[in-house]
Structure 1
Amino acid sequence: MQLLLFLILYPILYLISILPFRLLYLFSDFVFVLVYHVFGYRKKVVRANIALALPHLAEKERRRIEKDSYRHLCDMFLEMIKTMTISVKDIERRFVFKNLEVYQDLEKKGKSVALMCAHYASYEWVISINSRSNFIGYAIYKRINNKYFDDLVKKIRSRFKAELITTKQAVITIESNEAKGIKGLYGFASDQSPQVKRKTYWSSFMGIEVPVHTGAEMLAKRFDMTVVFLKVKKVKRGFYEAELELLSDNAVVVPDYQITETFLRKVEDQIREAPEFYLWTHKRWKHKGKNKLVN
């Protein structure tokens, strides 16, 4: 069944990926009508998330953000498909690093780099940094259930010198690389909602107490990695700018959770600046109010 589904969908995805950007975004407009107006994909989740995170805004403004976020979601989904065939030159032109020299200077220090980012703007095209990196790029991801699509995603990322590793593989991979003297650039999307356990770290995110991923910080401490934050801005449709901000070049001496807290505050600033580019479909606040129940 998995193979059959892959064989049916792959030709469609490929045809979408070779569309010129002008036609791609016309198609995105059509997909938006289906996703938002016809099917209402996760509309209740999105509406509840925006109301929780931005309660100070008027209802009319929240609805505008809601609609714009769906338009961006459709664009980003099709841009992900476009990655199947887009050239390195084209993606570098569309996803620009304003201060790449910050990262290049960090490489010269000979320490692996933990890159923390959020599900904001175009987190998929961050892979374009790998073509300008001397380190091997690794993205921590959640494995796709369909193994054929999972292999496809890995193949796409490999075009941009990026390797995908699961959360479980991260520690083993980093440990092995460091033992061999191999330096890596490890990408962490650290704004997701983790599973709640007794030792889970909780913090305020957009004014709401939630469980927080601390893996990037703890791995940086364990393996003495430099930590940077990637701030992404959507300039216009299909074009993004990114800035790298140093969070710590000596994570070992930073008090526990301070790096994570700094990251969260920076993500909040991004959201408040242009909330329509955040991925509101995630159930980011699903565990709110549960802290006292598990501790």
Structure 2
Amino acid sequence: MQFLIYIIVYPFLWSISRLPFKLLYLVSDGLYILLYHIVGYRKKVVSNNLKLVFPNKADKEIATIRKKFYKHLCDMFLEMAKTMSISDKELKKRFKITNPEEFKRLESLNKSIILIFGHYASWEWSIVLQNYINFKGLAVYKKLANPHFDKLIRDIRSKFNTTLISTKEIINIINQNESEGIKSITGFLSDQSPKLTKEVYWSKFMGINTPCFTGAERLAKKLDLSTAYLKVNKVKRGFYEAEIITLAEDSNKYKNYELTDMFLKEVEKQIHEAPEYYFWTHKRWKHKTNESV
């Protein structure tokens, strides 16, 4: 059944990836009408999230943000498909690093780097980063249940020389690389909701007390790595810019969870600047306390 789903969906994705960008975004406009106005995909989740973190915004303003978000969501979904066939040259034109010299400076410290992302603007096209770094690019991801789509994702990423690794593989792979003299930059998406356990760390995110992922920080401390945040902004439709913000050259010098809080504050600033580019369909605040600020 999984293979059947794959062979049905794959030709559609490939066809989408071959469209010129002008036509791609026309398709995106149609998809927006379908998802937002007809299907109402996760509309209640998005509305509840927006009302929760922006309690002082009027319903009209919430509705405006919601519509802009769905338009961006459809763009991003089709941009992900476009990655299957996009050229390295085209991707570099559409996803630019504004301060590549900061990567060079961090690499000059001769320490591997943890690069933390938020689900903001475009994280998929960050695979272009390998063009700006000398270190080996690694990206932590959650394996897909369908092995055929999982392989497809790995193949797409490897086309741009980024290696996908699961959370169970991280420490062994980084340690092996270090023993071979290979320095790496490992990307983490760290702003979503973890499984609720007694040991989970709770912090304020958008004013809501909620459990947070701390794996990136713990790894940086355990292996004595530098930590940075990739701030991605959407410049206009189909074009993004990213800035490397160094959080810690020596992660061990920071108190537990301090780097996690610094990262969350960076994501918060972006959300307040342009909330429509955050990933509102995820139930980020499904575990929360009544305590807020």
Q: Is residue 103–residue 132 contact of structure 2 (8 Å, CA) maintained in 1?
A: no
CA distance in 2: counterparts of 1:206 and 1:290, whole angstroms: 13
Please tell me the residue identity of whatever aligns with 1:18.
R
* Counterpart position of 1:14: 14
Q: Helix, strand or coil for the counterpart of 2:144?
A: coil
* Counterpart position of 2:237: 237
* Counterpart position of 1:44: 44
Q: How does 1:71-150 map to 2 (within 5 A)?
A: 71-150=71-150
CA distance in 2: counterparts of 1:67 and 1:35, whole angstroms: 11
Provide, for residues 205-264 of structure 1, a one-character-per-residue CA deviation record: whole Å limited to 9, x for no partner: 001011000111110111111111111110100001111111000001111111111101
Provide, for residues 95-139 of structure 1, a one-character-per-residue CA deviation record: whole Å limited to 9, x for no partner: 011101101121122111110110000111111001222111111
Please tell me the residue identity of whatever aligns with 1:174.
I
Range with bigger deviation, 132-141 or 12-21: 132-141
Range with bigger deviation, 130-139 or 202-211: 130-139
Q: Helix, strand or coil for the counterpart of 2:109?
A: coil
Please tell me the residue identity of whatever aligns with 1:259.
L
CA distance in 1: counterparts of 2:186 and 2:217, whole angstroms: 12
Q: How does 1:174-253 map to 2 (within 5 A)?
A: 174-253=174-253
Q: Percent identity?
A: 52
Question: How many residue pairs get matched?
Answer: 291
CA distance in 1: counterparts of 2:87 and 2:110, whole angstroms: 30
* Counterpart position of 1:167: 167
Provide, for residues 27-68 of structure 1, a one-character-per-residue CA deviation record: whole Å limited to 9, x for no partner: 000000111111111111000000011112111001000010
Deviation at 1:6, TM superposition (A): 0.9
Deviation at 1:175, TM superposition (A): 2.2
Q: Is residue 205–residue 264 contact of structure 2 (8 Å, CA) maintained in 1?
A: yes
What is the TM-score normalised by the length of structure 1?
0.97
Deviation at 1:290, TM superposition (A): 8.8
CA distance in 1: counterparts of 2:232 and 2:131, whole angstroms: 18
Range with bigger deviation, 16-25 or 106-115: 106-115
CA distance in 1: counterparts of 2:108 and 2:39, whole angstroms: 50
Deviation at 1:11, TM superposition (A): 1.0
CA distance in 2: counterparts of 1:167 and 1:57, whole angstroms: 38
* Counterpart position of 2:268: 268
Q: Is residue 130–residue 161 contact of structure 2 (8 Å, CA) maintained in 1?
A: yes
Q: Helix, strand or coil for the counterpart of 2:168?
A: helix
Deviation at 1:146, TM superposition (A): 0.5
Q: Is residue 192–residue 212 contact of structure 2 (8 Å, CA) maintained in 1?
A: yes
CA RMSD, Structure 1 to Structure 2 (Å): 1.1
Please tell me the residue identity of whatever aligns with 1:170.
I
* Counterpart position of 1:254: 254
* Counterpart position of 1:277: 277
Q: Helix, strand or coil for the counterpart of 2:204?
A: strand
Range with bigger deviation, 75-84 or 161-170: 161-170
CA distance in 1: counterparts of 2:33 and 2:201, whole angstroms: 39
Q: Helix, strand or coil for the counterpart of 2:272?
A: helix
Range with bigger deviation, 236-245 or 164-173: 164-173
Please tell me the residue identity of whatever aligns with 2:81.
I
Runs of 5+ unmatched residues, structure 1:
none
Deviation at 1:289, TM superposition (A): 2.1
Q: Helix, strand or coil for the counterpart of 1:168?
A: coil
CA distance in 2: counterparts of 1:181 and 1:222, whole angstroms: 18
Deviation at 1:168, TM superposition (A): 1.5
Please tell me the residue identity of whatever aligns with 1:66.
R
CA distance in 1: counterparts of 2:196 and 2:170, whole angstroms: 20
